[in-house]
Amino acid sequence: MVRRLLFSYLVLIAVTVTLLAGIVYLETTRTFSSYVNDQSNTHSEMLPVMFNGYYAVNGTWDGIQKDIEDASILINLPITLADHEGQIVAATRLNLVGQSVSAVSDLGQAFPIEEGDGIHIGTVYVGRTLAQQRADEAFLASVTRSQLLAGLVVALIAVGLGAILARSFSRPLTEMNRAAAKIAQGDYSTRVSLQGKDEIAELAFAFNQMAESIKSLEQLRRDLVSNISHDLRTPLTVIRGYLEGLHSGQIADRRSAEMAFEAMHNEVNFLLKLVGDLNQVAAAEAGALPLYLSLIEVSVLVDNVLDRIRPLANTKGVALNKKIAPELPAVNIDLERIEQALFNVLENGIRHTPAGGTIVINVNQAGGNLELAVHDTGEGIPAEHIPHIFERFYRVDPARNQSEGGAGLGLAIAHANVTAHGGTIFVESAGVSGQGSKFTILLPF
Ligand code: ADP
């Protein structure tokens, strides 16, 4: 990462500095030569006028050599004069006379000479002295050197800054890399530090969130394994005990054998329910709980559940009462799922209410919701357990055996089913025996 960033910086710096140096060099030489020309201009503007005068008087360039030499001394620069055909007719450097201007290089700046009516009669060239040319070249060379040096210094500073920047960009990524490696090794509490508000900080935040959910998933996996193995072991041990008794002949008479089969049947039922519940919890957690919605009359929903739960209430000696508000609108639900939620709540109420107690189910409209409230007169739920009661595998009294309770999945399933409908489920309890608990399910109409 650092290397790639640094390489990109280097390319960027090299291109920028080279381009900048090239542009500055071209611009400097251009400006300098125009400066030099301007300099000579001021001295040389009068030359074409002067020579034009000569031509006007003489009608020819013959004999102008002397004037050229005088003028050259006057402005202290070499002068060359060519006729209208480009033939050199007079020059400070005598050896040029007779040559064509196209054959001689670097004559200097050209000034055309024209007669009053615009007829071109020749060109005067004003050159630079050798000393001046050397000075110009030396000046340009020193400017170029300074530019190169400046470019080099700028490039070095940019590379240094680039290296620091690249490191500061890559530091959080390196940290994340290390954290990811630790998580991969099973250290799920590893987090990266968050700094700033840029994209890297957002990435770090997302990374920490991911680490958090991996941690809770890992915790869930551990809980699941330990809870399931615990919940499986008890009924399997019971079944094995009866099987061994039957096999060894210890359970010999018909009545004991019937009791043993009934007990094993109960345990198998419990195991089947456990597996079914686990399936549902897993589906709910994976967000794969399909809902088959239809408009259901509230009385149908309540009566269905009450019919199913009544045998348990009767066995337990607990009375079941319902109070349904009149003219409730139908509700759009997956009947099976809401029946199950209500069933689980009622079943808990009956289980936790001693014989002679009462369960009341109140059904009302509350705002835009259908409110199903189940109030029991049982042992109640201590305040410290209330926030956890809907968590999977959570049991107020883990030591309670299965005949009195389930695997701690009933309320987790009720919660998943209700929230899948966009509804809520909550409990209120004073935690006082006899005053019981009140579970409320709210479902949007
Ligand atoms: P379980 O399968 O153990 O009943 P639940 O998820 O249905 O699991 O309930 C979780 C825990 O909440 C139970 O272990 C129980 O202690 C407590 N609980 C649920 N309903 C009631 C209630 N009506 N009265 C008292 N305690 C309750």
Tally of CB atoms within 10 A around 174: 12
pLDDT at 380: 95
**Cβ(414) to ligand 1 under 6 A?**
no
**Cβ(369) to ligand 1 under 6 A?**
no
pLDDT at 348: 95
**Among the residues of 286-371, which ranges form H helices?**
298-316, 335-351
What is d(CA 111, CA 47) in angstroms, rounded to the nearest whole number?
8
Give pLDDT tens digits for 76-129.
Answer: 889 999 999 999 999 998 899 999 999 988 888 888 998 878 889 999 998 877
- Calculate mean pLDDT across residues 204-221: 88
**Cβ(413) to ligand 1 under 6 A?**
no
Residue type, position 239, single letter: I
N- to C-terminal Cα separation, the chain? 55
pLDDT greater at residue 300 or residue 223: 300
With the CA atoms of 398, 400, 404 and 407 taken in that order, what torsion angle do they form, in degrees rounded to the nearest 10? 30
Tally of CB atoms within 10 A around 307: 9
- Calculate mean pLDDT across residues 302-331: 95
pLDDT at 41: 64
Give pLDDT tens digits for 147-172.
Answer: 889 889 988 998 899 888 888 878 88
Nearest ligand 1 atom to the CA of 349 is: 23
Whether residue 370 is predicted with pLDDT greater than 90 in this model: the reply is: yes
Whether residue 347 is predicted with pLDDT greater than 90 in this model: the reply is: yes
Look up residue 400 and give its DSSP letter. Answer: S
Express as a percent the part of the chain with pLDDT over 70: 96
Place 405 in a pLDDT band, splitting at 50, 70 and 90: low
Express as a percent the part of the chain with pLDDT over 90: 53
Whether residue 234 is predicted with pLDDT greater than 70 in this model: the reply is: yes
- The residues pairing with 100 across neighbouring beta strands, listed in sequence order, are 87
> Ligand 1: which of 353, 375, 389 to mutate, judged by most atoms within 8 Å of the beta carbon?
389
Centre of ligand 1 from the C-alpha of residue 103, in Å: 112
- Calculate mean pLDDT across residues 13-28: 88
C-beta of residue 443 within 8 angstroms of C-beta of residue 333:
yes
pLDDT at 397: 80
Whether residue 402 is predicted with pLDDT greater than 80 in this model: the reply is: no
pLDDT greater at residue 440 or residue 235: 440
Q: What is the mean pLDDT of the chain?
A: 89
Nearest ligand 1 atom to the CA of 410 is: 7
Atom 11 (ligand 1) nearest CA = 395
- The residues pairing with 321 across neighbouring beta strands, listed in sequence order, are 360
**Cβ(48) to ligand 1 under 6 A?**
no
Whether residue 2 is predicted with pLDDT greater than 80 in this model: the reply is: no
In terms of DSSP bridges, do strands 331-333 and 294-296 run parallel, antiparallel, or are they unpaired?
A: antiparallel
pLDDT greater at residue 294 or residue 44: 294
pLDDT at 10: 86
pLDDT at 401: 52
Q: Average the pLDDT over each of 35-49, 74-88, 98-112, 221-235 and give the range with the smallest value.
A: 35-49
Whether residue 404 is predicted with pLDDT greater than 60 in this model: the reply is: no
CA angle 198, 199, 203 (to 5 degrees): 120
Q: Return the closest-CA partner of residue 80 out of 100, 57, 52, 54.
A: 100
What is d(CA 167, CA 160) in angstroms, rounded to the nearest whole number?
11
